Amino acid sequence: IAMGLSCNPDLLIADEPTTALDVTTQAQIMDLMLKLAAERDTAVLLITHDLGVVAGFCDTVQRMYARGIVESGTVDDISHNPQHPYTWGLLGSMTRLDDAHQTRLHSIAGAPPSVIDLPVGCRFRPRCEFATEICARVLPKLRPAGKEGQFAACHHADELDLKTLSVRLEDRDAVRQGEVAS
């Protein structure tokens, strides 16, 4: 961290800075890095797989899947109002300390695609329970979805109610049968 900030950069890229550290050390490293960055007016681009670190230390997030951004917005918006099935799946696979009911965790079906042989259309389609025919043909573009400033690359973001981890009843059959217009 000291070496990265020693030349007073405008941007510090921190690639997995907390990997293999215990939670206490993670918090200390992140606190120090963000304190030093704030003192030097340096932006921080954090690259991490640790959603807990993202939730605790970031303002905005760009969720990536198979070499592309699938969702973008504030950490709060994406955590509480996901607009992409991949984000929905990630959140459903995580334990929550505030979950008094101890909700059953779910895994995302299938395996990620090879980044050298990506599927045609939506890259998440082979694992998505909401995929339809258009998903097999057209790679979705990042577009406004959910709250203001939130974006998702999903053909069906407007029809899916991922906030409650379900599909709206009036749209469920249409989505599954591929009848929803793109």
What is the C-alpha separation between 32 and 25, in angstroms, rounded? 10
Please state, in angstroms and rounded to a whole number, the distance separating the CA atoms of residues 95 and 105. 7
Contact (CB, 8 A) for 66 and 124: yes
Helix or strand (DSSP H, E) at 80: helix 75-80
Q: Quote the CATH superfamily of domain 1-58.
A: P-loop containing nucleotide triphosphate hydrolases (3.40.50.300)
Give the residue extent of every domain in the chain: 1-58, 60-182
Q: Do residues 91 and 82 make contact, with C-beta atoms less than 8 angstroms apart?
A: yes
Nearest to 32, CA basis, from 59, 57, 65: 57
pLDDT of 165 higher than 70? no
pLDDT band at 173; cut points 50, 70, 90: very low
Instruction: Kindly report the average pLDDT of the chain as a whole number.
Output: 85
Higher pLDDT: 2 or 155? It is 155
Architecture of domain 60-182: 3-Layer(aba) Sandwich (3.40)
**Sign of the four-CA dihedral 118, 123, 124, 126:** negative
pLDDT for position 94: 76
8 pLDDT higher than 70: yes
- pLDDT score of 180: 46
- pTM of the full structure: 0.80
Give the other-Cβ count within 10 Å of 78's Cβ: 27
1-58 and 60-182 in the same fold:
yes
| Residue 166 pLDDT grade (very low, low, confident, very high; cuts 50, 70, 90) | very low
Q: Is the CB of residue 154 less than 8 Å from the CB of residue 143?
A: no
Q: What was the pLDDT predicted at 10?
A: 94
3-state DSSP assignment of residue 63: strand
